[in-house]
Amino acid sequence: MNRRKLLSLLGMSPALLADSRATAQQKPGNKAATPDAGQGKITAVNPKGTPPPIQLIPMAPRLDTLEGKTVYLVDTGFHGSDMLLHQVEAWFGRNMPSVTVVFRRKAGPYAEDDPKLWKEIKEKGNAVIMAVGH
């Protein structure tokens, strides 16, 4: 009887035949069964890669007081952040009238740079409150 038919009658896969032949060729002393023997090493690289070194940036110096200073309120476009900043602006108007409050909307999406605004804040401002969302 054909081995393939016998295995299928027993409910086994004929692929078992291929495995038994491959195992038979792998016996010790069978040099033909070791493909690429002595062909060298395989070097694998970590797919995560190597992250760049972290550059620590110190925090900005803190002010002793906000009296007589200019505080920029920067809206980054997060939903509702403009309403929050206008409430902060009103609070400063009621509670610290000597503080100059400047409301600005940052150009572009949240993660995009806005060099023009940063330059203005460096030249004219003393502090910044940014509404970056949650």
CA dist., res. 22 & res. 16, Å (int) = 10
In a domain, 110, yes or no: yes
Place of tokens 């939903």: 79
pLDDT of residue 27: 54
Please report, in angstroms and rounded to a whole number, the separation of the first and last CA atoms in the chain.
73
Residues of the chain with pLDDT under 50: 20-21
72-94 as b/e, with b when 16 or more CB fall inside 10 Å? Answer: bbbbbbeeebbeebeeebeebee
| Residues constituting the chain | 134
pLDDT of residue 87: 96
Digit-coded pLDDT (tens) for 22-44: 555 555 555 555 555 667 888 87
| Nearest partner of 110 among 77, 64, 74, judged by Cα | 77
pLDDT of residue 17: 54
In a domain, 79, yes or no: yes
Structure-derived torsion over alpha carbons of residues 115, 117, 122, 128, reported in degrees to the nearest 10: -120
Q: Look up the domain containing 19 and give its range.
A: 3-27
In a domain, 16, yes or no: yes
In a domain, 98, yes or no: yes
Number of domains in the chain: 2
